[in-house]
Amino acid sequence: MGAVELIRTGFERFFVDGPVGKPTGGGEQQVVAVHQAGELALPTGRLVAADPFVIWPEDAEPFTEEVPPGSYPVTVSMVSWVDGDGFPDLRQGYRVAAAKVTVRDEPAYSWRPAVVPGEHVPMLPVMPEFGYEVKSSTGAFFDLSAAEALDRLASDDEVGNCDLIDALGAVGGGRGPANVTDPRSGLNVVAFSTGWGDGRYPTWVGRNTAGEAVAFVTDFFVINR
C-alpha cells in the first residue's frame, strides 16, 4: 500500500454531553461533560497550541491553517467514569479529553492533521508522531501575537504569584479551562490540563465541504475508541 493522507473521524461525539466510547469489560462507561471556556481572540488569525509553561515567545509556531481574524469560542470535553452499576467512579475523577476552537458553526466534513511550518503532514502506512509536547500537564490555545502576553501570564511576578496558575487553580479543581487576559495587551489565553498528563498531543483541523476550516481539536487520548 502506498502513502495515504491521514484522516480522522468521530470528534463530534467528543463534544456532546453524555456517554461516549465503548464500555470496558467490567461495564465501566465514560461520560462527557462539555465546558464552555469563553472566546479566544485571534487578531492575526494564526492559532498556536502549546504547553504554556514551557514555550518561549520566540518559539511559538502557529498552524499553517490560518483563519479570519476575530474571536472564537473554545470548548473543553471533560470525561468522568461511571461503574457497571451506574455510580460515579470517584477513583478515576475526571480528565480533559479534548479541547476545541470553533471557527464556523457547521459540521466538519473531514479532519486532517493541523501542522506548523516545516512539520510534515502524517501519512499512512507510516504514522509519525505529530503535535505539541507537554511537560507541565497543561495545554493552551492562543494567537501568535499573544506569545509575549502568555510569557507574562505564565511567569511568577515579584512576589511569586503566577496569573495562569492561579486561574487554573480557581476552576475545575485545577484542570481548567481557564480563560486569562493579559492586562497590558488585552490579549487572552485559554489553558487546560492535558488528559493523563505529559506527552505529545495532536491537533486536527476540521473542514467543511468547501475546504474551509470549521474547528481545531486537540485530542488528549482519554476517550475510548
Q: Considering the domain boundaries, does residue 72 fall inside one?
A: yes
pLDDT tens-place values along the chain, 225 residues long: 344 445 566 788 999 999 987 777 677 899 999 999 999 999 999 999 999 999 999 999 999 999 999 999 999 999 999 988 888 887 778 899 999 999 999 999 999 999 999 887 766 445 557 899 999 999 999 999 999 999 999 997 766 689 999 999 888 676 779 999 999 999 999 999 999 999 999 999 999 999 999 999 999 999 987
Q: Is the peptide bond before 177 cis (omega within 30 degrees of 0)?
A: yes
pLDDT of residue 2: 40
Q: Considering the domain boundaries, does residue 225 fall inside one?
A: no
**pTM assigned to the model:** 0.91
d(CA 136, CA 78): 19
Q: Considering the domain boundaries, does residue 224 fall inside one?
A: no
3-state SS, residue 167: helix
Lookup result for grid cell 474551509: 212
For the chain, the domain total comes to 1
pLDDT of residue 90: 79
Q: Considering the domain boundaries, does residue 67 fall inside one?
A: yes
Q: Considering the domain boundaries, does residue 83 fall inside one?
A: yes
Tell me which residue range forms the domain holding 153.
4-219
pLDDT of residue 9: 67
Concatenating the DSSP letter of every residue in 101-160 gives EESSSS--SEEEE---TTPPPPEESS----SEEESSSEEEEEEGGGHHHHHHHTS--TTS
Q: Considering the domain boundaries, does residue 55 fall inside one?
A: yes
